[in-house]
A and B are shown apart, each in its own frame.
Chain A
Amino acid sequence: MEELLDRLTARELRSLARALEVRGRSRMTKGDLVGAVARALRDGDRTHSAIPEAPTCRFTIRPGVSCGLPVVPPTEVCALHGGTDSSDVIVPALGRLGFDTWPTLLRHLLTGSYDVDPLGLDPVVAEMAWHVLNYLYRDYFHVTVSGIDHVPLSGPAILAANHGGAALPYDGLMLPLCVANEAVVPRRVRVAGTEILNMLPTISHLYRKAGATYASPDDGRWVLDHGHLLGVFPEGVRGFQKPVTESYQLKEFGTGFVRLAHESDAPIVPVAIKGSEEVHPALFTSKRLARLVRLFFPEQRVDEIGVWLNPIPNPVHWFVHFLPPIPPPSDRLAILEVTEQVRGTIQRELDDMVNGSDS
Chain B
Amino acid sequence: MMMPSTEGMVPVLDQSRVSYTPGVAGIMVTARGSSRTLIDRLDLDVEYVKGSGSELAHRLDNARPVVVIHSDLDARALLAGLERNAGLEHLIILSDPAVHGTSARMPSVVPIDTCAPSTERRLVRSLRRLETEVRDFAHQRPDVTLTVLRFASLLGDPGPMSRHLFLHVVPSILGFDPRLQFLHIDDAALTIRHTLTTRPHGTFNIAAPGQTYLSRAIRLGRRRHLPLPEPIFRRLDLPGHLVDLFKHGRVVEPTPPTFGYSPGRTCRESLIDFYGG
Assuming the A-B contacts A119-B108, A120-B108, A219-B109, are A202 and B213 also in contact, with contact meaning beta carbons closer than 8 angstroms in the complex?
no
A205–B213 Cα gap in the complex (Å)?
9
A204–B106 Cα gap in the complex (Å)?
13
Q: Mark A207-245, 1 if CB is under 8 A from B, else 0.
A: 011000110111100100000000000000000000000
Query: For residue B174, which residues in chain A have a CB less than 8 angstroms away from its CB?
Result: 201
Query: For residue B108, which residues in chain A have a CB less than 8 angstroms away from its CB?
Result: 118-120, 208, 213-214, 216, 218-219, 222
**B175 CB-CB contact with A under 8 Å:** yes
**A122 CB-CB contact with B under 8 Å:** yes
A-B contact pairs, 24 of them (CB 8 A): A110-B219, A112-B212, A112-B219, A115-B210, A115-B212, A116-B179, A118-B109, A119-B108, A120-B211, A198-B104, A199-B104, A201-B174, A202-B175, A204-B248, A205-B213, A208-B179, A213-B108, A214-B107, A216-B105, A216-B107, A218-B109, A218-B114, A219-B108, A299-B103
Query: For residue B177, which residues in chain A have a CB less than 8 angstroms away from its CB?
Result: 204-205
**Chain A interface size range:** 20 to 34
Interface residues, chain A, with chain B CB atoms under 8 Å away: 110-112, 115-116, 118-120, 122, 195-196, 198-202, 204-205, 208-209, 213-214, 216-219, 222, 297, 299
**B216 CB-CB contact with A under 8 Å:** yes
Q: Mark B202-219, 1 if CB is under 8 A from A, else 0.
A: 000000001111001001
Q: Say yes or no: B220 contacts A112, CB within 8 Å.
A: yes
A115–B209 Cα gap in the complex (Å)?
11
**B176 CB-CB contact with A under 8 Å:** yes
B232-252 at interface with A (beta carbon < 8 Å) = 248, 251
With both beta carbons as reference points, the residue of chain B lying nearest to A204 in the complex is identified as B176
Shortest CB distance B131–A (Å): 20
Q: Say yes or no: B212 contacts A195, CB within 8 Å.
A: no
Main secondary structure of the interface of B (DSSP, over half): loop
With both beta carbons as reference points, the residue of chain B lying nearest to A300 in the complex is identified as B104
- Count chain B residues whose beta carbon lies closer than 8 angstroms to a beta carbon of A: 28
With both beta carbons as reference points, the residue of chain A lying nearest to B179 in the complex is identified as A120
**B194 CB-CB contact with A under 8 Å:** no
Q: Say yes or no: B107 contacts A201, CB within 8 Å.
A: no
**B111 CB-CB contact with A under 8 Å:** yes
Q: Say yes or no: B107 contacts A219, CB within 8 Å.
A: yes
**B268 CB-CB contact with A under 8 Å:** yes
Q: Say yes or no: A115 contacts B219, CB within 8 Å.
A: no
Partner of A222, one of B105, B109, B213, B248: B109
The 5 A-B pairs of least Cβ separation, nearest first, read A201-B175, A218-B107, A205-B177, A198-B104, A112-B216
Q: Which of A198, A219, A222 has the most CB of B within 10 A?
A: A198
A219–B114 Cα gap in the complex (Å)?
13
A217–B109 Cα gap in the complex (Å)?
11
Besides the known contacts A118-B108, A120-B179, A218-B109, 19 further A-B residue pairs in the complex with CB atoms under 8 A apart: A112-B216, A115-B266, A115-B268, A118-B211, A195-B105, A198-B105, A199-B104, A201-B174, A201-B175, A204-B177, A204-B248, A205-B178, A205-B213, A216-B105, A218-B111, A219-B107, A219-B108, A222-B109, A297-B104
